[in-house]
Amino acid sequence: MDGVIIKSKEEINVMREGGRILAAVLNELSEAVKPGIKTLDLEFLAEKLILKYGVKAAFKDYSPSGSRKYPNILCVSVNEEIVHAIPSERILAEGDIVSLDCGIWYKELCLDAAITVPVGQILPETARLVRVTKKALKRALKKIRPGNTTGDIGNTIERYVQSQGFGVIRDLVGHGVGKKVHEEPAIPNYGKRHGGVVLQSGMTIAIEPMVSMGDYRTAGCDDGWGVRTADKSLSAHFEHTVAITEDGYDVLTA
């Protein structure tokens, strides 16, 4: 359990308050998604919402593992972009899907969540990709309790997604969150049952299945930050921050 940061009940209560705010931010952002807007428009709205709710953006100027600072509040990843794409002049079109990933600091504790939103009417198979990814997260949540492992979470996601004919992204993983944006443990969306780190009460973790319509391999985007599917197939992404309780789990960003 080296590096795992256990949170007190008081800290988890604070994170629950912050999680409600982050859920509201993402909900308002999702309602703004429509054909014809730029992904940068969503960044401007996120900036207004951060001010409205009196929280601090967790991603802006964040420098993971000594890399250069991320320049924005929001990650807006469209279609084949999986995560971390920088908001830009790209215009959303009917039939696109867009992942909105946002983190906030609330009373010195961090929350992280993501949703994938359809742009207007989307094709049935695209809608199925989004549904399967969201359901994979729900199935993973049911494996969260003290004594289970990160491998139990990943194995559940992997088996379900593959049974539906989609691919699980392997290069990007969930993680601990709370005192930092990224904490231990890493939580892959694949793995072996009973493998990995044992879950215990007081851990706060971000579970985030990332699913492709094609292959699991990834490539970098031209913006220098985003990650896309190597075969340019569509991808979807959902994420919740979750507290592990004595008898199960509590979704903090619902």
Query: Residues near 51 by Cβ (< 8 Å), separated by ≥ 6?
Result: none
Residue-level pLDDT at 1: 58
Mean pLDDT of the chain: 97
- Bridge-partner residues for 113, per DSSP? 102
pLDDT digits (tens, 9 = 90+) for 17-66: 999 999 999 999 999 999 999 999 999 999 999 999 999 999 999 998 77
Residue-level pLDDT at 68: 87
Domain boundaries, the chain: 9-251
pLDDT digits (tens, 9 = 90+) for 86-111: 999 999 999 999 999 999 999 999 99
Q: What is the mean pLDDT of residues 213-229?
A: 95
Pure H helices in the chain = 9-32, 39-53, 124-141, 150-163
Distance set, CA 162 to CA 65, 126, 158 (Å): 31, 16, 6
Q: What percent of the chain has pLDDT over 70?
A: 99
Q: What is the pTM assigned to this prediction? A: 0.96
3-state class (DSSP) for residue 193: coil
Distance set, CA 26 to CA 83, 98, 151, 165 (Å): 15, 12, 29, 28
Residues 221 and 227 sit within 8 Å (Cβ to Cβ): yes
Question: Looking up tokens 């493998």, which residue turns up?
Answer: 195
CATH fold for domain 9-251: Creatine Amidinohydrolase (3.90.230)
Q: What is the mean pLDDT of residues 168-177?
A: 98
